[in-house]
Structure 1
Amino acid sequence: MASLRVSMSILAFYLSYFILISNYSLSQSSICLPKNHTALFIFGDSLFDVGNNNYINSSTFLQANFPPYGETFFKYPTGRFSDGRVIPDFIAEYATLPLIQAYLSPAGFQDHYIYGVNFASAGAGALVETNQGLVIDLKAQVKYFTEVSKQFRQKLGDEEAKKLLSRAIYIFSIGGNDYGTPFLTNLTSGAVLPCPQQKFVDYVIGNITAVIKEIYNEGGRKFGFVNVGPLNCFPLLRMAINSTSLSACLEEEASAIARLHNNALPKMLHGLEKQLKGFKYSVTDFYGALIELMKYPSKYGFEEGNAACCGGGPYRGDNSCGGKRGIEEYELCNNVNNNVFFDSLHPTEIAAEHFAKLMWSRNGDVNEPYNLKELFHYF
């Protein structure tokens, strides 16, 4: 019976999607956008990627297009690093939008960009050098966005395109790979970052600032960010450094540099709010929210807050989920809904939904100065 309910929910979801897109497809004819129409444009890394890396020459470490990924909701792997949906899927649902498709999806979805586009790429960073050649870095993602913006102006006209772009929400999950990848690739060499921590953070923040300004110049006004998580506390890094406690992993260098980034990000955004007319933003404390789930899983309906559902080794942290990444054998937990982490770096669908709800409607200790619902409906 539960399986039937899930199947019916998926069918209803896709029926609603195709009804929506049939009403508002982007064509050569003149389109008058519905009143208060708000699109969603998505940038970043594997926390937000819905399958762009399926279509590039990448690595299986940066792809999730094989089982058991996707099996909870979609019943097949979509390229999402989850057993089902990821955070932007839920944000789109709360905003009464259809699933926002990957930019590199096969022909057929390009006519429906008025709902938004997902440019995120697993492994991507704010720095071009992060996993270079295997991902769509943030600069390249924004280049793709400017192509979409150009299409809007060509097909909608300048006035309608301006309305769409200024009403739209632009959400980001970026920075974690810039800080985490050097630690993973230099665990035994000692020298990790190419420069002092604060200088490296300034470099990352500077690249993010440049991207925001580029989108602003295209018409974007409303931006949402999740900050960087506690990197050394993810099962992959926790296994790699043999960290036995949550308090210990928080003191490791990658988690410490994440906190430097998380202090710098809202300061930069607050400065842009003073500098750029009409600029509004939201920052969600993903770092704090994830630590909360890891410390007190039962408080939020989970049984396991530290070990992944899929993988092997301590904390199931060896990144073997699916058996396509050099290690064929892996374990899969009995009930994915009991776990905060699905694989060694990513949340389960139910945990992603938890984070999306926080982004959407929580204030104060989680979001500043606004939540996403406020950006969608009140500005």
Structure 2
Amino acid sequence: MAFAHATTAAALFIILLASSSSAAPPADPLFRCYDSIVNFGDSLSDTGNDLVPGLHTGECLAGNPPNGQAYFHHPTGRFSDGRIIIDFIAQSLGLPLLKPYFPEGNAEAAQRCREFSTGVNFAVSGASALSYDFYVSIGYANPYTTISLGTQVEWFRGFLAGFPDGGRKYAERSLVVVGSVGGNDYNHLLLHGWTLEQMQLLVPKVTSYIASVVQELIELGAVTFLVPGNVPFGCFPDYLTIFEQSSTSNDYDPQIGCLSWLNELSGLHNDLLQKELQKVRELNPHANIMYADFYNAAMGMYRSPKQFGFGNQILRSCCGIGGRYNYNESARCGTPEATCCDVPSEYISWDGIHFTEAANRLISKALLQGRYTDPPFSTICLNSTSNPRGAIADN
């Protein structure tokens, strides 16, 4: 990205941080279980770190219109026309939207603790689960960011150090969301030419690392987790476009039109992640570890789009340009060439890679009120021993 663009992004980041990320919680939240939310992840849950110069390489597309048009009415660093899943989770818990956190861009420790008393978001667009150095060692460097899940955990350690008790009460009273993360470990390598067989060999390493991070966070005092699996990437317009020329009819789901082999890769990740999380549960019976089934929560929309209010363009992106799936890597949403559909709420995909606000709302509802977390979110929430709100700010 050009230096002038980076400078603009920095200024925009500061403005948006003050104006939109701290939006007030709803007057009548669905649940009141936790004092705060701690989030780690990639662009599916990034609420503004994408706009910080140095964290992300390339154009800051999430800082350009029409991103943010549906809810915030201007770009906020979210890859969507409005709110994303972590926003809906926060509002359902009666908490403000999570502010993005970047250590070098925040105030001294005591002020930081107050500023992020109800939630903190470490997610960075393009982040992988495994470290940047690992991918360099195997001959591939992440082209979007050097930030990984491990980097975000180190930021969290530094953040907790600002509390008098080392942040254990903050961690204990928070809902800790670890992901969605891991998708970029596969996404970037697929685009780099890795085969499906090579990807399958990587999955155990990715899922075991995510589980090890949950264990690390437990040791820091966290007790309640929401750990999402991967989404059905085979239904995303970017991959449908990229593999369109090299695919045969046998590669597609005959009912929906998604790439079956790519969805099977997501399924393998999700199966192994659940097994790894069960190991962590057995080691920590006091912890509440919920697996969030992003995959099937999303697949319900693809299988029955009319039931959920979507139109007949479920595999096309709302914002983009050209081709069967309205996606072009060289003219993505946020570039001058891209155009936006008239009614984003009729689309599942916003920009070919991320969901519309309408889809994010339905996925979050399926998680919080439906059967797509294991154990059910409502059960864990009702049994929560979280202390009354306001105690965090007094620490």
TM-score normalized with structure 1 length? 0.81
* Alignment correspondent of 1:4: none
* Residue from 37, 44, 47 that aligns with 1:47: 44
Aligned to 1:163: 169
CA 1:227 to 1:215, structure 2 compared with 1: closer, same or farther past 3 Å? same
Say if 2:130 and 2:148, in contact at 8 Å, map to a contact too.
yes
Give the unaligned 5+ runs of structure 1: 1-10, 20-34
Q: Aligned to 1:139, which of 108, 131, 150?
A: 150
Q: What residue number does 2:160 align with?
A: 149
Matched position secondary structure for 1:270: helix
- Give the TM-score of the pair, scaled to structure 2: 0.78
Q: Does 1:349 align with 2:351?
A: no
Q: Secondary structure at the match of 2:78?
A: coil
Structure 1 residues 56-78: Cα deviation after superposition (integer angstroms, max 9, x where no partner) = 32234664111111111111111
Give yes or no for contact 1:232–1:249 (8 Å, CA) kept in 2. Answer: yes
Residue 101 of structure 2 corresponds to 103
Query: For residue 348 of structure 2, what is the aligned residue in structure 1?
Result: 340
CA distance in 1, matches of 2:122, 2:22: 21
Residue in 1 that maps onto 2:119: 116
Q: Give SS of 1:170's match.
A: strand
Q: Is the 8 A contact 1:236 1:317 kept in 2?
A: yes
Tell me: CA distance 1:306–1:126, structure 2 relative to 1, closer, same or farther (3 Å): same
Matches of 2:118 and 2:22 in 1, distance apart? 15
- CA distance in 2 between counterparts of 1:234 and 1:15 reads 30
* Map of 2:12 onto structure 1: none
Partners of 1:307 and 1:297 in 2: how far apart? 13
Pairwise CA distance, 1:121:
0.8
Report if the CA contact (8 A) 1:63-1:122 is conserved.
no
The 1:277/1:65 distance shift into structure 2, 3 A limit, reads same
1:76-101: CA deviation from partner (whole Å, max 9, x where unpaired): 11110001111111111011111110
- Is contact 1:95-1:376 (8 Å) kept? no
- The AA in structure 1 aligned to 2:62 is A
Within-5 A mapping of 1:76-87: 76-87=74-85
Indicate how the Cα distance of structure 1 residues 12 and 75 shifts in structure 2: closer, same or farther if over 3 A, else same: closer
Distance 1:89 1:356 in 2: 9
Alignment-derived partner of residue 375 in structure 2: 369
Structure 1 52/360 Cα, relative in aligned 2: closer, same or farther at 3 Å? Answer: same
Whole-angstrom CA distance in 1 between matches of 2:292 and 2:161: 30
**In the aligned structure 1, how far is the partner of 2:300 from the partner of 2:189?**
26
Q: Specify the alignment match of 2:243 in structure 1.
A: 241
What amino acid does structure 2 have at the position aligned with 1:87? I
Q: What is the 5 A alignment of 1:1-379?
A: 16=24, 37-57=34-54, 58-60=56-58, 63-104=61-102, 107=106, 110=112, 111-129=114-132, 131=142, 134-152=145-163, 154=164, 157=165, 161-171=167-177, 172-186=179-193, 191-192=194-195, 196-242=198-244, 245-247=252-254, 249-252=258-261, 254-303=262-311, 304-313=313-322, 314-319=324-329, 320-324=331-335, 328-363=336-371, 366-371=372-377, 373-379=378-384
C-alpha distance in structure 1 between counterparts of 2:285 and 2:300, whole Å: 36
Deviation at 1:368, TM superposition (A): 1.2
Instruction: Indicate how the Cα distance of structure 1 residues 308 and 62 shifts in structure 2: closer, same or farther if over 3 A, else same.
Output: same
**TM-fit CA distance, 1:347:** 0.6
Q: Cα offset for 1:196?
A: 4.1
Distance 2:260 2:50 in 1: 32
CA RMSD after TM alignment: 2.7
Contact 2:317–2:325 (8 Å) recurs in 1: yes
Sort the Cα spacing of 1:198 and 1:65 in 2 relative to 1 into closer, same or farther, 3 A: same
8 A contact 1:122–1:135 mirrored in 2? no
- Number of paired residues? 336
Amino acid at match of 1:143: E
Please say if residues 121 and 135 of structure 1, whose CA atoms lie closer than 8 Å, have aligned partners that are also in contact: no
Q: Which amino acid aligns with 2:223?
A: R
Q: Cα distance, 1:266 vs. partner? A: 1.1
Q: Any stretches of 5+ residues in structure 2 without a counterpart? A: 1-18, 136-141, 385-395
Moved more, 239-248 or 117-126: 239-248
Distance in 2, Cα, partners of 1:286 & 1:13: 24
Secondary structure of the residue that 2:117 maps to in structure 1? helix
Aligned-partner SS, 2:316? strand
Greater alpha carbon shift after TM alignment, 195-204 vs 77-86: 195-204
Q: 1:143 to 1:132 in 2, by over 3 A?
A: farther
Determine what percentage of the aligned residue pairs are the same residue.
30
Residue of structure 1 equivalent to 2:4: none
2:22 touches 2:98 (CA, 8 Å); kept in 1?
no
Q: Secondary structure at the match of 1:121?
A: coil
Secondary structure, counterpart of 1:76 in structure 2:
coil
Residue 142 of structure 1 aligns to which amino acid in structure 2?
V
CA offsets, 1:278-328, max 9 Å, x none? 12111122112222212321110111321110011221122433453xxx4
Deviations 1:255-278 (A, max 9, x none): 222111111111111111111141
Larger mean Cα displacement after TM superposition, 170-179 or 55-64: 55-64
Contact 1:53 1:121 in 2 (8 A): yes
Of the structure 1 ranges 59-68 and 207-216, higher mean CA displacement relative to structure 2 is found in: 59-68
